[in-house]
Chains A and B, each alone.
Chain A
Amino acid sequence: MEHTFGNAMARLHTWAGVILGGLLFAIFWMGTLCVFDREIDRWMMPKTRLAKTSDISLDHLARAVASTVPAKASQWRVDLPTDRVPTLRFSCRDGAGDVIARHLDPATYQIIPDQGTKAGTGFIFPFHYGLHLKWKDLGKWFVGLAAMTMLVLLVSGVVVHKKIFAQFFTFRPRKGVQRGSLDLHCLTGVIGLPFHLAMTLSGLIIFVSFYFPQAQWGAYGSGEGAKAAYTAEAFGSFTRPRADAPGTLASLDAMASQAEREWAGGQPYFVRVWHPGDANSYVELRRSYAGDITMNLDQIYFDAASGELLHRFEAAAVMKVQRFISGLHFIQFDHWTLRWLYFLAGLSGCVMIATGFIFWLGARRARHARKGLAGVRVVEGLTVGSVTGIIVATLAFFAANRLLPQGTSFAGQGRAALEIWTFYLVWVACFIQAWWRPAAAWREQAWAICVIALACVLLNSVTTGDHLIRTVSQRTWAVAGMDAMLLLLTLLAAWVAIRLGRKAVDRAVQSGPVSIATEVRS
């Protein structure tokens, strides 16, 4: 092979993709699901499928949670209902620093029993940015590495697949799997380039103080004091010590109305009481960003006893830019059209990665078989496990949620942990199956997706009574949408599995793989 720029880029694109494609698919898949993480929460926590209530009295709320807040708690906080989360989310830190978190019914202010699941926001979302590998933040470093690789892949991809502009809008599935998957890879890659670039870059920028702390060290120095100074200036914070004397709490509703006046109509999205019951207690209100891309950092602090305004914070210009870029990635705003478009764009990113793998495999299958190389077999197992395998595992996670009775525990693991064990065990099983039976793994895992997705819908209907007709008529859109997507996945997986089955028969009758690998390099 000649040592040209194009060839160097081709090697880079190929090998970076093969080595980190599996990890990238996992991050893309989980990120795509995160678009609807709150809706997944509703599906997995049936007792939180409530109607939204707009009239919340913070004073009533404070009286209702008073008995739940332990003595010497350093703070308690309640997140107010939104269009996507109908419940009040109460959390507090006891004297030892342990967190207690509960959902409250917004109509009665009563605690909803723990639903025994980490669901979307507790499992899928942290998986997306940290892979649940907490040791030395290894997960976040892997995700950072994957993101940098993604940037390299996007740029090298444009160089390698030079024909993408001449063949814009071209997808030829009838010309075989190889041709079709390369077309689809280029199509989603080039049309999605702005989206993928924006998501990857903004993902890195969200964690700027983790991946690139040198920037803040340069300005503030390193060490705990410098870190606190940076946090206070960038994100805002107000603290004052306990007085260790009993204190009172003035009207929270009055503070909320004053905050709304200060914010010119902006609504608070959470209220937090620091040092509850102490004479030096103070109240923090944060401004909602449901109506804006930028996730503002506006906050107001009041003296708990008098209701007097103590401190007000708004982010500086640079932080506002950072929060705008973060907002593009986090999509915490209320905009259903955009939310669905993000979901579709995320799925097309998954398609881009999967088709890249399929093309790599197709280009080498015949040659490796002839030369007795193991490469294709290893990568095929990796591909099946990381593409269909993670989908099967996610569905198993949903199914376990509907199958395990509340309060179950096994081998010292609670219900929420058992769901997560199900995910990982099923995922590992998918990898094992893919390496063990490479010829049939695609089709069999497609059937597994089909069956489990359908089972999830049926289980939801049986265990909660919320079948699709009822959720649609009652406008419980979160649950209806989740069920509808599962049914769509059932049909899609069945279609793919049947086609793969037919192909397997065809291949048995006549074989003649056509390699068009040279096209990429030409």
Chain B
Amino acid sequence: MMPALLSVAASLASYAGFACLALAMPRHWAEASGQESAAAPHRRRLRPLGLLMLGVSYALCVYRDGPSFGALLWVLLCYAAAIAVALTLTWQPRLLLPAVWLYRSVAKGP
């Protein structure tokens, strides 16, 4: 059960990571939020957040399978996750809206 949960968590983390990296790009931000993006300052914060999520995914993979299998699992999960984000942006960009809201609520904060 635990390994299955860990791989689900690692998959979600890498998906979220790539979703953040995608939203950091003006074109994809516009697709997901439905607004033309101005020169929004969001890029600066979404990118490190995305990288952080990928790091979390890596940590989960290594925790699950050890350094060698973990690293391999992470590389292939990233591949699948990045393709999944691209397909989400193509067919259901609105699915990434929660990330947009989350970003906005954080960005509005102090």
Contacts and interface: CB of A to CB of B under 8 A. Distances in A.
Interface string A337-352: 1100110110010000
A218 interface: no
Contacts of A338: 69, 72-73, 76
B73 A337 contact: yes
Interface stretch (B35-43, B51-59, B84-92): B84-92
Interface stretch (A169-177, A228-236, A408-416, A479-487): A169-177
Contacts of A172: 90
Contacts of B86: 169-171, 187, 191
A348 B81 CA distance: 13
Given A328-B72, A341-B76, A342-B76, A170 B89 contact: yes
B72 A345 contact: no
A188 interface: yes
Interface in B43-89: 65, 68-69, 72-73, 75-77, 79-80, 82-83, 85-87, 89
A191 B82 contact: yes
B28 A337 contact: no
A195 B89 contact: no
Given A170-B27, A293-B69, A195 B83 contact: no
A1 B74 CA distance: 43
A171 B89 contact: yes
Indicate the member of B68, B72, B82, B87 with the most A CB atoms within 10 Å.
Answer: B72
A168 interface: yes
Indicate the member of B25, B68, B75, B86 with the most A CB atoms within 10 Å.
Answer: B86
B22 A194 contact: no
A168 B7 contact: no
Contacts of A191: 79, 82-83, 86
A437 interface: no
B54 to A, nearest CB: 13
B90 A171 contact: yes
B25 A168 contact: yes
Nearest to A172: B90
A323 to B, nearest CB: 13
Interface residues of B, number: 24
B68 to A, nearest CB: 5
A28 to B, nearest CB: 15
Nearest to A198: B75
A335 interface: yes
Given A170-B27, A170-B89, A171-B90, A345 B82 contact: no
A168 B22 contact: yes
A169 B22 contact: yes
Indicate the member of A172, A194, A292, A338 with the most B CB atoms within 10 Å.
Answer: A338
Nearest to A333: B69
Nearest to A194: B75
A192 interface: yes
B25 A345 contact: no
A168 B22 CA distance: 8
Contacts of A337: 7, 73
Given A191-B82, A345-B76, A171 B87 contact: yes
A194 B75 CA distance: 8
Contacts of A168: 21-22, 25
Interface string B1-36: 000000100000000001001100101100000000
Top 6 closest pairs, chain A to chain B, by CB? A341-B76, A169-B86, A169-B22, A191-B82, A171-B90, A171-B86
Given A169-B25, A171-B87, A171-B90, 17 more contacts: A167-B27, A168-B22, A169-B21, A170-B28, A171-B86, A195-B75, A292-B68, A293-B68, A293-B72, A333-B69, A337-B7, A337-B73, A338-B72, A338-B76, A341-B73, A345-B80, A348-B79
